[in-house]
A and B are shown apart, each in its own frame.
Chain A
Amino acid sequence: MSDATVSLSIDGMDVTVPKGTMLIEAAKQAGVVVPHYCYHPSLPSPAVCRMCLVEVEKLPKMVPACVTTAGEGQVVHVHSPAAKKAREGVLEFLLINHPLDCPICDQAGECELQDFVFQEGQAGTRYADYPKRFNPVEDFGHDVLYIPNRCILCTRCVRFMDHVAEESVLTVSERGDRATISIDPAHRLDHQWAGNVVDLCPVGSLVSKDFLHKARAWDLDKTASVCPGCTQGCNIMVDTRDEVVVRLRPRPNLEVNRHFICDTGRADYRWMNRGDRLEEAAVRGEQGLEGTAWESTLERVAALVAEGEGAVTVLLGGRVSTESIGWILRLLSGRRVTAAMRVPLGDEVPLAGMANLALRAERAANLHGAQLLGAGADWHAAVASAPDTDLVILVDAPLSDTELAVVARAGAVVQLSTVAEPGLENTAVLAPITSMVEEQGVFINRDGRAQRFLPARTPPGMARPAWWVAANAWALADEARTAPATASEALAALPALDGLTHAQLGFTGRVIAPVAAGGVR
């Protein structure tokens, strides 16, 4: 026993936790999930749901695990008959007025009420003779719908708005069985981070209008990813149904975004399902751009790189992976290269209650990866330099009309694109690449944290990751060269990353290079 830790027994498992740890968190360490509704690790605990009552030996009454600190030598029973009976009672109360409309509820399949009732609830009801109270559906805000009949009044949404968003517009109105969550009539739930109340809601009471009736939870494939919206690099889960991305949800990472993402990031998934994707490689021949196989495409890229002596400009989109940037630059080693990333700017939207969490002004996920690898040149200067270069490599960067006119004056353009830029007459090679939801890769966020994203859907047509195109073109130049076979090998081979593999990053990433925060030059 040390001063900083306490040891206790939870359901027969001995655990040692830091002093001040709540029983509910200590139980997680013992591998025991204490059923709960109002408790959430990123919110203050009011202990209102009474679901997490556990039995502690030598205490006369059961205690709520979410507000009881673990004590030395405690013997805690989460699954004792008394604790189970207490939860059964709570669940019975919660179900008195719950409509049990799971077949039409968006939350079904990921609903904590469903889960816990299934595990420990009663099969029947003792209240069959009484009508359930009914309240109409309310429109809370631009993406949030409130269905009061399903509400179990855990108040997570109220506490999120009070303590995290710090815009207190929600409250519990009325009392007893008439109680509902209500919104201040003078306001809407249009805070830029308000969408998180939908994730926080343990039942289907607060639902997203955008996702309403789109898919059943059990039909979704969930892929760990990183939000491509800004330099914050919030961890997300990409939910796909039959290869179509239907929603983005936050994935907990206590170092980056805790349990939250902003509404801008949440809504930014439609581009992932674009129907006008480039599916076939093409090189310029006598008939203009002619469709061809990868071999001849790679040969043409290698030839374009090898034959010239002059400067090369690389124009990167904000969602290009670290692997791709690194290998495109390696392909061009020996040439005079100006590489820049397009960084759209917006307003910075912080989440008041969380330190170092905001929708950042620089809306490019891998800006700091680009800077680390030497692709941090000024975008406008890089575009302006295009007419003086032999070769422009355009990597999934959208161009404005004026920028297009400038780039059209370059010697030749190699487009590594998800969607072709048809306006460029000087395109020599058009290569279809995967977008960040179709490949594995790494973004480096504003704090120098390398975080990986995984493929969530099948790439269309011939599309390959941009690093694969660059690395294989690079390998063609010399027989001694071998292109990396995986994204992890591609990352490890980059000198700036010093052998870092994807496995070392895990699911929450790792700070590899503290970068001075902010800064688009």
Chain B
Amino acid sequence: MTEHATPTEPVFTTERKARLEALATRYPTRQALLLPALWMAQQAHGWISPEAIEEIATELELTPAYVRGVLTFYTMYHTHPVGRHFIQVCTTSPCNMCGAEDVVAALLDHTGCGDLGATSPDGRFTVIEVECLGACAFVTPILINDDFIESVTPDTVADLLARYP
């Protein structure tokens, strides 16, 4: 579950800083903490802002340019703000053949996002398509934040979304 602070707040509050330092003991260098640190920033703000990049760079003794390089390499870090609830729908071949497109359409319709990758006007949802979520026997699987939900159909979408205010 995303914690959602405003992006101007520092990522490494006392509590998160303690978590980071606890992790530090597991790795040979501070540079190796970069991926966990980026996750912390994303969990805190919902996305990784330029301010967060600066902060992580200072914290891990790296350059902001290097942090950006790593950040943009991975697709699961957000470099732009996203909705409070981030929905990922599997549309790879088996799901597609079993009607994933309709699920996507229903999600876009019910959330009010309109477009894939866009955020709904109330800031609640962002919907994207992803490749195989590994649940081909339970079409269509979707991920809402960290919740893995199987066998979604266009009919169940409305009830499902109601659980994510």
CB pair B63–A173 under 8 Å, yes or no, is no
Give the residues from 141 to 170 in chain A that come closer than 8 angstroms, CB to CB, to chain B.
168-170
Q: Is the CB of B65 within 8 A of A183?
A: yes
Question: Does B64 reach chain A (CB closer than 8 Å)?
Answer: yes
* Contact status B72-A168, CB under 8 Å: no
Residue B68, interface by CB 8 Å: yes
B65, A170: Cβ atoms closer than 8 Å: yes
- Asked whether, in the complex, the Cβ of A174 is within 8 Å of the Cβ of B72, the reply is yes
**A384–B54 alpha-carbon span in the complex (Å):** 56
B64, B65, B69: most-surrounded residue (chain A CB, <10 A): B65
B66 within 8 A of A: yes
CB-contacts of B54-69 with A (<8 A): 54, 63-66, 68-69
Q: Which residues of chain A are near B72, meaning CB under 8 Å?
A: 173-175, 182
Q: Does B73 contact A (CB under 8 A)?
A: yes
B120 CB to nearest A CB, Å: 27
User: Is A184 touching B73 in the complex (CB atoms < 8 A)?
Assistant: no
Q: How far is the CB of A37 from chain B (nearest CB, A)?
A: 19
- Which A residues are CB-close (under 8 A) to B121? none
Contact with A along B64-102 (1 / 0, CB 8 A): 111011001100000000000000000000000000000
**Measured between alpha carbons, how far is A187 from B72 in the docked complex, in Å?**
18
What number of residue pairs across chains A and B have CB atoms under 8 A from each other? 33
Is B50 part of the binding interface, using a Cβ–Cβ cutoff of 8 Å?
A: yes
CB proximity of A140 to chain B, nearest CB, Å:
12
Q: Which of A319-337 contact B (CB under 8 A)?
A: none
**Complex interface bits, A167-208 against B, C-beta within 8 A gives 1, otherwise 0:** 011111111000000111111000000000000000000000
Contact A173 B64, beta carbon cutoff 8 Å: no
Question: Cβ of B50 and Cβ of A173 under 8 Å apart?
Answer: no
Residue in A168, A170, A174, A187 whose beta carbon sits within 8 Å of that of B73 in the complex: A174
Q: Is the CB of A186 within 8 A of B73?
A: no
* Complex alpha-carbon distance, A183 and B68, angstroms: 9
A54–B157 alpha-carbon span in the complex (Å): 57
Whole-angstrom distance between the Cβ of B73 and the nearest chain A Cβ: 5
Taking the closest CB of chain A, its distance from the CB of B65, in whole angstroms, is 4
Most chain B CB atoms below 10 A, which of A174, A175, A182, A184: A184
| Complex interface: chain A residues within 8 A of B54 (CB) | 186
Do residues A168 and B68 form an inter-chain contact, with CB atoms below 8 A? no
Using A185-B50, A186-B50, A186-B54 as known contacts, say yes or no to A169 and B65 having CB atoms under 8 A apart: yes
With a CB–CB cut-off of 8 A, which chain B residues contact A173? Answer: 68-69, 72-73
Task: Return the chain B residue nearest A186 by Cβ.
Answer: B64
Q: State how many angstroms separate the Cβ of A175 from the closest Cβ of chain B.
A: 5
Complex Cα spacing A170 to B72, Å = 13
Q: Pick the contact of B69 from A171, A186, A187 — CB < 8 Å? A: A171
> Which of chain B's residues 83-139 have a Cβ closer than 8 Å to chain A?
none
Residue of B nearest to A185 (CB): B50
Residues of B within 8 A of A171 (CB): 65-66, 68-69
Cβ contact of B64, chosen from A172, A174, A184, cutoff 8 A = A184
Task: Name, among A171, A173, A174, A187, the residue most crowded by chain B CB atoms within 10 Å (CB to CB).
Answer: A171
- Kindly state the separation between the CA atoms of A174 and B64 in the bound complex, as whole angstroms: 15
Give the docked Cα–Cα distance between A43 and B63 (Å): 19
Residues of B within 8 A of A170 (CB): 65
Chain B residues whose CB sits within 8 angstroms of the CB of A187 once the complex forms:
65
Closest Cβ of chain B to A24, distance in Å, is 26
- Distance to closest chain A CB from B87 (angstroms): 23
Contact A172 B69 (CB under 8 A): yes
- Are B50 and A168 in contact, CB atoms less than 8 angstroms apart? no
Residue of A nearest to B75 (CB): A175
Please, could you name 11 A-B residue pairs with CB atoms under 8 Å apart, sorted by A?
A168-B63, A168-B65, A169-B63, A169-B65, A171-B69, A172-B69, A175-B72, A184-B64, A184-B68, A185-B50, A186-B64
With A172-B69, A184-B63 known, 12 other A-B pairs at CB within 8 A are A168-B63, A168-B65, A168-B66, A170-B65, A171-B66, A173-B72, A182-B65, A182-B69, A184-B65, A184-B68, A185-B50, A186-B50
Ranked nearest first, the 4 interchain pairs of A and B with the lowest CB-CB distance are: A171-B69, A168-B63, A184-B65, A171-B65
